[in-house]
Structure 1
């Protein structure tokens, strides 16, 4: 006679349903961090007692426009994206009023007075692509980073990644990132 061994069986059908529901729950509730975007701070409100509507000298405004065909225009001239960083550096570091002791510019009378007065105005057309807009933003950021790096090495004798918080404030004060995306006249 044979001995038949009965193996107990467990119904796992309901466990699979529970596992599936848990999986869906965690997928829906989990946050996925995304590091894409542009890191910018909104301007602070105008402090009381200061007139923030004073006109800006035209020579202190670098007007960059991206038209509907994704062409980058500096004033009325169409430029290449590769040239934007160097042209921005030349504009910011000009030292037209000769008050900037750390600037290395040409002291042109048609460019900015000094980096603290310089404003970069960026305007786009309605058909401008996001890719071109981000590429222009990247070139502007590179220009400021390069100027700040030069200042850090020449004035503070430290690379940017070794700066203390107070030194970093000095570097940012020397070359403040003043970017306007408002429609200008």
Structure 2
């Protein structure tokens, strides 16, 4: 029998159950942020049987220094002008074999979109945001040209077709049709974006 005037006792028998329920609650309701990756295709493991000779004029060089400045084809360039310059390079068609190219056919620039390569190189101290922004502009150049050709051939943007094709909820019949169309546009302007090894600079 408890003594008169003593404080009431707290029943702690269910504290473990309460703690367990709280743990489950926080595990279920907590969201964990995940980093988004970059959509890039890695080169094949085995090298090709024959050596491929790449002419220098078919390589569009883009360098980013640690201060975020762009050196495009050894010339300083503003970021706002990068996409237009990349489009002009990819769409040049100097050798005359590209019937759908609308470029200047400059003999000092790329021969054909299938031969054109964009080489991106950055400094080890380059800001990640700057690097991603430059990449987006280069990929945007490919998408602009692909959208142009997709509109000409199929009456809709390539980016819309690709998104619908990659959507797992798209019916298989529609995906089969989109697969051929997406592959056709990708053949016209293959995305050859080469990322060179980073370097350290003293600039």
With the length of structure 1 as denominator, give the TM-score of the two structures.
0.82
2:181 equivalent among 167, 175, 178: 167
User: In the alignment, which residue of structure 1 is the partner of 2:45?
Assistant: 45
1:3-152 counterparts in 2 under 5 A?
A: 12-23=14-25, 26=28, 32=32, 34=34, 36-46=36-46, 50-51=49-50, 53-152=51-150
SS at match of 1:84: helix
C-alpha RMSD of matched pairs (Å): 2.5
Distance in 1, Cα, partners of 2:143 & 2:35: 20
Any unmatched runs of 5+ in structure 1? 1-8
Distance in 2, Cα, partners of 1:137 & 1:63: 13
| Structure 1 residues 124 and 154: alpha-carbon distance in aligned structure 2, compared to 1, 3 A threshold | same
User: In the alignment, which residue of structure 1 is the partner of 2:173?
Assistant: none
SS at match of 2:154: coil
TM superposition shift of 1:21: 3.3
| Structure 1 residues 74 and 44: alpha-carbon distance in aligned structure 2, compared to 1, 3 A threshold | same
Map Cα deviations across residues 10-35 of structure 1 (whole Å, 9 max, x no partner).
Answer: 964333122133346557xx884636
User: In the alignment, which residue of structure 1 is the partner of 2:174?
Assistant: none
Any unmatched runs of 5+ in structure 2? 1-10, 162-176, 199-203
